[in-house]
Amino acid sequence: MAVMTYKPIYVGNAYLVRSYVETYVPADDAYEPYTGGGILVSFARNSDGTNPITGLQNLAMDTDASGVFHRVLSPAELTGLPALVGQVIYQIVTGGPYNGLRAVTALKVSQPRWAQ
């Protein structure tokens, strides 16, 4: 039996997508933060990206000089998720140098989590 770990994504709350990207620099023989653009995030019902979630495809991520790419999704952008509460969906980050990045994270759609 396979064991799956996942990160919660709460409907009605904002959600932060964050990914650190490095690239190999042969001249320095080292990995350095990637600061180019072209990093996208999508959400789908399958880990291979099939069965995409409407409105949550190929969203551009912002970066800073440290190689951290991020995007905050507002509750308004996540309006399609309440119908998926209790289900596992997948966050897929793609792009980067030579379009070589593909990072998939399993997320479980959960009821809203309000401040206490």
pLDDT at 2: 65
Domain residue ranges in the chain: 7-110
pLDDT at 1: 60
Q: Which two tokens stand for residue 108?
A: 């479980």
Model pTM? 0.88
* Burial tier of 115 (Cβ tally within 10 Å: 0-12, 13-18, 19+): exposed
pLDDT in tens, 52-97: 999 999 999 998 778 899 999 999 999 889 999 999 999 999 998 7
- 7-110 CATH pick, 2.40.10, 1.10.3470, 3.30.70, 2.60.40: 2.60.40
